[in-house]
Structure 1
Amino acid sequence: MIALPDPNTISRPYRGLSLQDVAVDLDDTDAVTTYLMGREVYRRTRWLLLRNDARLALVEVRTADTLPLFAPVVELRVLAGPGRTTWLEDATIDVGNATALANAVDRVLSPNVDAYAVQGRYEHVNVIWRPEPVRVTVTEVIPPEPAKLYEMARAAIDFDEDLPPIDLVLDAVDLRELAREHRAPAYLLPCRGSGVDLPGDVAFLDTHPPARQDWLLVGCARSQQFHRHFYGSEAQQVDFCPSLRATDHLIGRVLTKCCMLERGVERHKDVVVVPWGSTLDEVRLALRLLNDLGPVAEDGHLGAARTV
């Protein structure tokens, strides 16, 4: 017997769903079965979205052979009838993307609905089954703003059509708050790129100030290494490493970064770490690992991953 789909299931690719206008009583499962059994469908079709006027039903079908272009249906299951299937239209939505679909239906979520059909961009149609977006916390240092890693994760989600619907949550390590909590006459920050304005004198490690000062280093382990190299001693420090914060204080799935990692991706159970200057491919791979998808093979190679 065909099992019910797992939550967040969509048709991948969306051409695996076929929208069919029919005159069948969609509340009558026997009538739907009689209509479809033995009927030819395209070999890639797995879901049929049947429409009778404004009423909808979602049916999963199996064929005896997937080699011919068309083959008769030999098994089917009505997954959701008219009472549990709903229709939305939003021309901005990429219906091949699970997160986009989940966002589109969020405003109409109901415990009484299982299947949400969305007509989106280019009038393409797809269905998402019982959406339950996966929460991923992104730990990042700000400023600069918007948080770069968070924005890169959003871009990767928009691109990768294998990912489940993801709910990104920003966990910001704010340099301004750290400075307020640790008052000092002078601060040393890793680089000018932060664009942060702190009370007191501010110097930047990447400019290699000529003389050591009595400053507070707001940085990470790599910054302290640079300081030792430049000045022969360690500075008083507030460590802002987002990776340490993620592994020590957060629960659930976490995407973060660390400058001690120069290339590739590391996984620590539910925490995946990318380099400070990560590529979009590395961020994409990290999100895939958090959802147990693994790297894309061959023409979609994403780089190396290491489990720690």
Structure 2
Amino acid sequence: MPTRYRQVAISTDVENLDRAWLEQHFAGREAYMRTRFIVARRGNDTALVEVARPDSSSLFSNVERVRVLATPDMCRYVVAPEIDTAVPSQMAQVALENPGVPCTIVEGSYSHVSFLLNPQPLQLHVFDIVPPFPSKLLDQVQRVLAVAEDLPPIIAVPTFVDSRSELDRVCHPLPSEVLVPCRGSGIEFPGTKVSYLDERPSSADWILLGCERSQQIHRWFYGSRASMVDICPTSFLSKSHDGNRTITRCCLIQEGVETRPQGIYVPWGASLAEVRLGIERVVEAVGVPWTRT
């Protein structure tokens, strides 16, 4: 993928898109000092060409070498005004939506044009407990990726566990009263009273739908452990899970990021900066093979 979309020039209505013709056509022609790639178009067909010029500070200089990177059968030209072509993960999303071609060329916002050649975006597994909806962690990951010009192409792949279904699986029938960590969970059960641990309600014979941190708070408030249905993300991540490609949350982390066998963990109330750091940890662990040129 180009480092800057200003490296990409457009040449429309060329006479021919055959490899030999393109090489002969662009060799010796003047090119702007920033130009490294040319998107050549004939009607709806497109080819991608790389050019090399003398090492010169001149505004224009003659092309010395030409290489066709992708012929028309390898290219798809996509007009997507909502896409920022400077952001690799946005480009990867377009490539994912247009499978079957090695080169995705995108005319995006501000009519800027760039491309992604041989896309192999990192599949980042985002594991979270819901409700509330939408998943806060997935939303934060997507917001980070939407503006990260320096991260490789990444596609967020969500996996959710619905805490309501987990309670129903463990407790049949549902208990008369359920204790959840806070109102932010957005949990409701018909015919079952829902109390909120952070409001320190009067003690009752309830089932705690929470995790170890919730138990610690319960023990502090009431002097005992509660009967609990565990919804800690770690409880659902098996040892065979690829932790290097997974980001999730943990209430026991106050700040920062932790690397564990099950995945990269951020605090339950993580900031965007912490989520960004978590994604960087995944990239470091996996070693994404990509090049910005």
Once the two structures are superposed, what CA deviation does each residue of 1:78-97 show, in whole Å capped at 9, x if it has no partner? 11122322322222222222
Partner of 1:279: 271
Partner of 1:222: 213
Partner of 2:252: 260
Residue 27 of structure 1 and its aligned partner are, at CA, apart by: 0.5
- From 197, 222, 240, the equivalent of 1:231 is 222
Residue 258 of structure 1 and its aligned partner are, at CA, apart by: 0.7
Partner of 2:140: 152
| Paired letter, 2:192 | G
Q: Secondary structure at the match of 2:284?
A: coil
Partner of 1:61: 51
Once the two structures are superposed, what CA deviation does each residue of 1:209-243 show, in whole Å capped at 9, x if it has no partner? 243x3322211111111122122222222221124
Identity across the alignment (%)? 36
| Paired letter, 1:220 | C
Q: TM-score, normalised by structure 1?
A: 0.79
Change (3 A) 1:169 1:56: closer
Aligned residues: 281
CA distance in 2, matches of 1:172, 1:186: 24
- From 55, 65, 84, the equivalent of 1:94 is 84
| Paired letter, 2:251 | C
1:57-206 equivalences under 5 Å are: 57-65=47-55, 68-110=58-100, 113-183=101-171, 184-198=175-189, 199-206=191-198
Contact 1:44 / 1:66 at 8 angstroms: preserved in 2? no
Structure 2, unaligned runs of 5 or more:
287-293
CA distance in 2, matches of 1:186, 1:145: 22
CA distance in 2, matches of 1:270, 1:75: 49
Partner of 2:9: 18
Partner of 1:6: none
CA distance in 1, matches of 2:27, 2:260: 49
CA distance in 2, matches of 1:13, 1:143: 40
Once the two structures are superposed, what CA deviation does each residue of 1:257-288 show, in whole Å capped at 9, x if it has no partner? 11111112223367221111111122222223
- RMSD, aligned α-carbons: 2.7
Structure 1, unaligned runs of 5 or more:
1-9, 295-308
Contact 1:143 / 1:194 at 8 angstroms: preserved in 2? yes
Residue 138 of structure 1 and its aligned partner are, at CA, apart by: 1.4
2:284 equivalent to 1:289 = no
Deviates more, 1:126-135 or 1:149-158: 126-135
